[in-house]
Amino acid sequence: MKEALLGFEKEIPHLDGHSVTIAKDGVIQPGDIIKIRGEGMPIHQSSDQGDMYVKIEIVFPTELTEKQKECM
């Protein structure tokens, strides 16, 4: 919940094994898409890489414990 409201920075594993950092500032909406230049699939007959698109999915809790409420 905190990351959805304030933003985040995370490392995610790429298909080839290296880590990619994704970050977003401010309020994030379900379905937002983050574009990471040069981290996508290779471009046919080129030495360039395409872009990677990461779709944000947010799972909101249906209820909170008292302890979770105190932390907010």
Determine the Cα–Cα distance for residues 8 and 66; give it in Å rounded to an integer.
Answer: 25
Q: Which of these, 56, 24, 58, 17, lies nearest to 39 by C-alpha position?
A: 17
- pLDDT value of residue 20: 95
**Over the stretch 14-68, which tens digit does the pLDDT of each residue have?**
988 899 999 999 999 999 999 999 999 989 998 899 999 999 998 888 888 888 8
Determine the Cα–Cα distance for residues 13 and 9; give it in Å rounded to an integer.
Answer: 14
- pLDDT value of residue 60: 82
Residue ranges and CATH numbers for the domains of the chain are 2-71 (2.60.260.20)
Q: ∠ CA 30-21-58 to the nearest 5 degrees?
A: 15
Determine the Cα–Cα distance for residues 25 and 9; give it in Å rounded to an integer.
Answer: 9
- pLDDT value of residue 59: 87
Is the pLDDT assigned to residue 70 strictly greater than 80?
Answer: yes
